[in-house]
Amino acid sequence: MRYEEPVFRPPSEAHSLIIQATIGCSHNACTFCGMYKGKRFRIRDIEEVKEDILMSKDYYGSVRRIFLADGNALAMPTEDLLEILNFAYTVYPELERVSAYAGPKDLLEKSDEELRLLYENGLKLLYLGVETGDDELLREIRKGVNADEMVEAGLKAVRNGITLSVTVLIGLGGKEGSYRHAKETAKVINRMKPHYTAALTLMLVPGTPLYKKAKMGLFHPLGKLETLQELRWLIEDINCKTVFRSNHASNYLPIRGDLPEDKEEILKLIDYSMKNPRILRPEFLRGL
């Protein structure tokens, strides 16, 4: 397979075939993110993408899930995405789903008709980085949208049939912004009602603006127990139906539960781990 490294995928795509439809991230401006800093964004030639799919057939034989990388494959023109989807389902008739990362602006720029068409042609799941619901923080991290726009982006995917998995970033507001970040993020989740909500915990990446800010003493990262307190503030306010996970390697405490039904159990687990921090993932085992 031909990959332009580094290639990232969500934890739940561990067994999926990764096909790079785009290289890098078309936004590439978030102050905490170093994922695609070394790549200039481009949309790959559609024939190259098809060649990769054919090559993978020789190698894997059968594939049930495909994840379209990189940062936001949804930035691709709809007709190109449709061609890739149709080709992938032709090469792999047993294919059950195709998924991709989506930036909020990509979703806002596509019409309902386009998203419905993409869903009907097999784009079943999108991962949206919400990060925070706090307007001030969204502006600071240069996410490119405010909370209302983020909610509309998520709702647009859901109302057109696409399963929505969102990520929120624990610790993003630092010590001073922790409570507000948690509470505003819960509000956005409740409005958006994503099928899945995944929490990641902030790790400062060298070279990023947020890392530099922390080095200058202008951003105060949370300690281990403070991240759990923030997670607690967030979960206690989520009232919509969503599968909540914190199984990403950046987290200190892996959680999986159905909200709101499992809320009390999850809160008890957080309380227990705050009193018994030895059960938390050690710092050296955390990763992005």
State in angstroms the smallest separation of the CB of 30 from ligand SF4: 3
Binding mask 68-87 for ligand SF4 (x = CB under 6 A): ---x----------------
Q: Does 35 bind ligand SF4 (CB under 6 A)?
A: yes
CA 285/CA 287 separation, integer angstroms = 6
Of 181, 227, 238, nearest in space to 203 by CA: 227
Overall residue count recorded for the chain in this entry: 288
Which region among 27-35, 106-114, 193-201, 241-249 touches ligand SF4 (by CB under 6 A)?
A: 27-35
How many residues bind ligand SF4 (CB under 6 A)? The answer is 11
Burial class (CB in 10 A: 0-12, 13-18, 19+), 130: buried
Q: Does 210 bind ligand SF4 (CB under 6 A)?
A: no
HSE of 30 in the Cβ direction (CA atoms, 13 Å)? 24
Joined together, the tokens standing for residue 252 give: 């200190």
Which residues, numbered 134-153, are part of the site for ligand SF4 (CB under 6 A)?
none
Which region among 30-38, 49-57, 175-183, 211-219 touches ligand SF4 (by CB under 6 A)?
A: 30-38
Q: Does 154 bind ligand SF4 (CB under 6 A)?
A: no
Amino acid identity, position 121: N
State in angstroms the smallest separation of the CB of 118 from ligand SF4: 19
For ligand SF4, the closer of residues 152 and 237 by Cβ is 152
CB 128 within 8 A of CB 153: yes
CA 145/CA 126 separation, integer angstroms = 18
Q: Does 163 bind ligand SF4 (CB under 6 A)?
A: no
State in angstroms the smallest separation of the CB of 280 from ligand SF4: 25
Q: Does 169 bind ligand SF4 (CB under 6 A)?
A: no
Joined together, the tokens standing for residue 35 give: 């994922």
For ligand SF4, the closer of residues 135 and 236 by Cβ is 135
**Near ligand SF4 by CB under 6 A: residue from 69, 118, 129, 150:** 129
**Near ligand SF4 by CB under 6 A: residue from 21, 25, 172, 280:** 25
DSSP assignment of 73-130 equals GGGS-HHHHHHHHHHHHHH-TT--EEEEEE-HHHHHHS-HHHHHHHHHTTEEEEEEEE
CB 207 within 8 A of CB 34: yes
Among left, alpha and beta (phi > 0; psi -120 to 50; other), residue 233 is alpha
Q: Does 28 bind ligand SF4 (CB under 6 A)?
A: yes
**For tokens 């509309």, what's the residue?**
152
State in angstroms the smallest separation of the CB of 6 from ligand SF4: 12
State in angstroms the smallest separation of the CB of 246 from ligand SF4: 18
Q: Does 31 bind ligand SF4 (CB under 6 A)?
A: no
HSE of 241 in the Cβ direction (CA atoms, 13 Å)? 1
The residues binding ligand SF4 (CB under 6 A) are 25, 27-30, 33, 35-36, 71, 103, 129
